Amino acid sequence: MSSSEVPAISLFTFPPTFGLRNVSPFCLRVEMALVHLDIPFDVVLESNPAKGPKKKLPFIISNNEVIDDSELIYLHLDQLTGGRLFKGLSPADYGMGCAFTRLVDDHLYWLVVASRWLDDDWFPNVYEGFFGSFPPVIRNLISTLARRQMRKTLDLQGLGRHSLKQQKEFARRDLQALANVLTNSRYIVGDKLSVFDFSITSMLSGLLDNVPSTWMTAIGQEFPELQHYAERIQSEVGVYGRAQP
């Protein structure tokens, strides 16, 4: 199927917050994939992730089918375009790409979340950014309950049980692992732009371009090679995570 024959898609994503045009790395990477594949789509801004089938964003509506989770959306887009999204990736590239995606999604992401939600000095930005539009009478209650839930989630995940110093060291090791690859390679796997670059870049952009900066932003800035990589991938695709001036 050529891109002109692909039915239009609606992408449900969060509104801009924290200086990020697309505050969710999972939403941003789907947008990158859609643009890369030249698939027509509308962005629907949705503040309430509970509207999604699994109470998370992103989800898409494609030909009346609702599909959530960026990974499942990737698979759907690949199928829609006759294999164009994963085209050219060797099994080894695919394996490495999956492993690095798991590193950013299932480890680094939770440290990004911790840097926003657990830091008492930074939490007022979460309060304003995520709950500022609620009526004042319920804003405090909802944000307190949400923060309590987030502490519980981070505790169950495990990273929330570490000290701030240990969390920072974990983050630094995650970023160092990416930098070890990207110092000598243009792309995270193989020698061409791939869908895995969207997954890694969306997470890097979210932590580097976060305004005001968090402790995670400061650690990201220790790795200029990652900043250059994230900028280059965003400019190659033409989709940026930060809010446009």
Ligand X SMILES: N[C@@H](CCC(=O)N[C@@H](CS)C(=O)NCC(=O)O)C(=O)O
User: Using CB under 6 A as the criterion, which residues of the chain lie in contact with ligand X when the complex forms?
Assistant: 24, 26, 49, 55-58, 69-71
What's the min distance (Å) between Cβ of 186 and ligand X? 25
Give the residue with the Cβ less far from ligand X, 57 or 216. 57
Give the residue with the Cβ less far from ligand X, 52 or 227. 52
Give the residue with the Cβ less far from ligand X, 24 or 205. 24
What's the min distance (Å) between Cβ of 69 and ligand X? 4
Pick from 219, 241, 2: nearest CA to 119 = 219
What's the min distance (Å) between Cβ of 71 and ligand X? 5
What's the min distance (Å) between Cβ of 141 and ligand X? 17
Give the residue with the Cβ less far from ligand X, 55 or 161. 55
